[in-house]
Copies of this chain bind each other. A is one copy, B any other.
Amino acid sequence: MPSNYHHGNLRAELLTAAEKKLRESGPDQISLRELARETGVSHNAPHRHFPDRQSLLEALAVAGFERLREEIDGAVGGARDDFGQRLRAAAGAFVRFAVDETALLELMFSLAKAEGAKDVAEAADPVYTAFADLIEGGQESGELRSDDPSRLKLLMIATFQGIASLAGTGRVSEAEADVLLDDAVQLFLGAGTIAR
């Protein structure tokens, strides 16, 4: 039953190969035909799993958001039961992802806003929700001030997003990003000055 009809997980194999290519050479270098060649199927076999090139990219983005979500959740779960620690862990996981998977994250954000890619936007949602829930929890427990919850929440997300962007594009090193994250969390927790 190995059957010349391939193993049945062609879709997964294509995605893995595409992710590798994305990491090494960027999204422009992802070619359906080349992926098919590498996977040992006809140039047309991928079409059954991904109707066009765009849908392959979207699938990559969806999987990326799912993985990012898992890593944020994992980091939060592994942190001490203290709001500052959990927030720091979540943001740290985000920045780590931005450094390790720069091209993928770029693709993810790029498609999440694209008109056509509804599924990508849906996959992106839980990531923002994860941050939002965490922050709202801190506000409810009083660990974070809550003069205007939604504004503070957005500002925090923006800041983490910005640090991830700087780190992802190499404008700050990972060590500098860690310091930035510490400073940002401390600032938001209202600990006073930014730098000790």
Contacts and interface: CB of A to CB of B under 8 A. Distances in A.
Interface residues of A: mostly helix, strand, loop or mixed?
helix
A129 interface: no
Interface of A: 28, 102, 106, 109-110, 112-113, 128, 145, 147-148, 151-152, 154-155, 157-163, 165-166, 168-172, 176, 179-180, 183-184, 187, 193-196
- When all copies of this chain in the complex are counted, the total is 2
Nearest to A151: B195
Contact of A155 (B28, B113, B128, B183): B183
A43 to B, nearest CB: 20
A184 to B, nearest CB: 6
A194 to B, nearest CB: 5
A154 B180 contact: yes
A161 B165 contact: yes
A195 to B, nearest CB: 3
Contacts of A154: 166, 172, 176, 180
A148 B180 contact: no
Given A109-B169, A155-B184, A195 B161 contact: no
Given A154-B176, A157-B162, 18 more contacts: A28-B28, A109-B165, A112-B169, A113-B171, A128-B171, A147-B195, A151-B183, A154-B172, A155-B159, A155-B183, A155-B187, A155-B194, A157-B166, A158-B166, A158-B172, A158-B184, A161-B166, A187-B187
Given A110-B106, A154-B180, A169-B113, A194 B159 contact: no
